[in-house]
Amino acid sequence: MSPLRLGVMGCAGIARRRMLPAMAADDGIELVAVASRDGRTAAETARPYGCRAVTGYAELLGLAEVEAVYVPLPAALHAEWVTAALAAGKHVLAEKPLTTAADRTRRLVESAERRGLVLMENVMFVHHPQHEAVRQLVADGAIGELRSFQAAFTIPALPADDIRHRPELGGGALWDVGVYPLRAALHFLGDGLRVVGATLETVADRQVETGGAALLRTPEGVTAQLEFGMEHAYRSSYELVGGTGRISVERAFTPPAEHRPVLRLTRSAGTEEIELPAADQVARTLAAFTAAVRSGAGPAAGDCLAQAGLLDAVRRSAAR
């Protein structure tokens, strides 16, 4: 099959650091163009990849040779530009969260389905095989009946001018780092989760929440305790606790491509460390997107919609 002809809508840090190098290295992708509101930024970003620089996102969507677009814009701009991309007949890979409201997320998913286009939210960690290995251990009864799940994703303080401190752009810890532990809970516990309680915290000089926690529960009584923050020491981990043991994973959400994951399985006889092969979750995410476009079968939208609903529910619970 011919490579997927891809355009990049915006020059955010994640695009420059992780996604553009991975796209350039993928034989299944032809990087056609990079767009920015600032022509010089577009040119500087596009130059190392030998692709076209475009001034303005609408101009990118007007390029007939672009089949699909990657959208790394601030969260509050996703709804507008994903809508425009779908209307232009482009498949879309959009950074998480897809939008900052569950109803808008649902409308985008429905729009893509009506048009027969692939719309994929860029939650990369779910494509790393270490999590499937964990699910298999649980399914095999390695820790007995599952009782609880804990997950945390916290990062050190960001620069004062970082866009994640701006509420009008969809900033705040919940939508930036809170997505990770929440999506992990969905990944392991299913979409029957409901929010029991939540809190969002803000330090004095910020306009958005800088951290928070949430307690979720499945219909069967399995609890999920989630922590997230962006004024904290770095943590990226989760643990599943069962009746006879527990499994813990470090560097769970953003491991480097060369990282060899270690699953720690603790039972009454002691702790066993299970080392897994390294895997590049960025490359695997791009491969999954390309395969979905080429097969005509987009990714299931259930987890994306369930995640959007839970994010809304966490915010409502914290407001109460």
From the list 54, 67, 60, the residue with the least C-alpha distance to 28 is 67
Please answer whether residues 107 and 100 qualify as being in contact, where contact means their C-beta atoms are separated by less than 8 angstroms: no
Burial group, residue 236, by CB count within 10 angstroms (0-12, 13-18, 19+): buried
The residue to which tokens 């299913």 are assigned: 190
Q: State the Cα angle at 204 between 201 and 210, rounded to 5°.
A: 35
The DSSP H or E segment spanning 225 is strand 223-229
- Separation of alpha carbons 201 and 213, rounded Å: 9
The residue to which tokens 């796209």 are assigned: 23
Is position 90 annotated as part of the catalytic site? no
Q: State the Cα angle at 16 between 10 and 17, rounded to 5°.
A: 145
Please answer whether residues 7 and 70 qualify as being in contact, where contact means their C-beta atoms are separated by less than 8 angstroms: yes
From the list 175, 185, 252, the residue with the least C-alpha distance to 225 is 185
Q: State the Cα angle at 125 between 255 and 211, rounded to 5°.
A: 85
In the chain, alpha helices (H)? 13-14, 20-25, 39-46, 57-61, 78-87, 102-115, 129-139, 173, 179-189, 281-295, 302-319
Among the options 52, 78, 91, 96, which is catalytic? 96
Active site residues: 96
